[in-house]
Amino acid sequence: MDTSQLLKGVLDLAVLAVLERGDGYGYDVVRGLRAAGLQEVGDASVYGTLRRLYNAGLLTSYVVPSEEGPHRKYYSLNAPGRDRLRETAKTWRAFAETMEGLVGAA
């Protein structure tokens, strides 16, 4: 099965979940997703998702100077982001339970 299509549907949730663990810049988030088992996630997809979530008011950002190149833009969850994470996680759990009921015996 091509998991990239599944990932597109849950990337917002996955990014919010990574940021719940702590603030991070773009590549931190990519590494967090890959460490969790989502090796197929593309850098550009994550950066686009971060920008979209930020523009939607679900993240805050701040810049930290880097000794190894350009400054890094860190993202963190704000209250609306935490609310969205809870709502989306609840929806995901219900969906996953439904799918498990359908394919669990297969």
DSSP 59: E
Judge whether residue 91 has pLDDT over 90.
yes
pLDDT tens by residue, 30-87: 999 999 999 989 999 999 999 999 999 999 999 999 888 889 999 999 999 999 999 9
3 or 74, which is more confident? 74
Alpha helices for the chain (secondary structure H): 3-20, 26-35, 43-55, 79-103
User: 3-class DSSP state for residue 8?
Assistant: helix
User: 3-class DSSP state for residue 61?
Assistant: strand
Q: Is the pTM of this model over 0.85?
A: yes
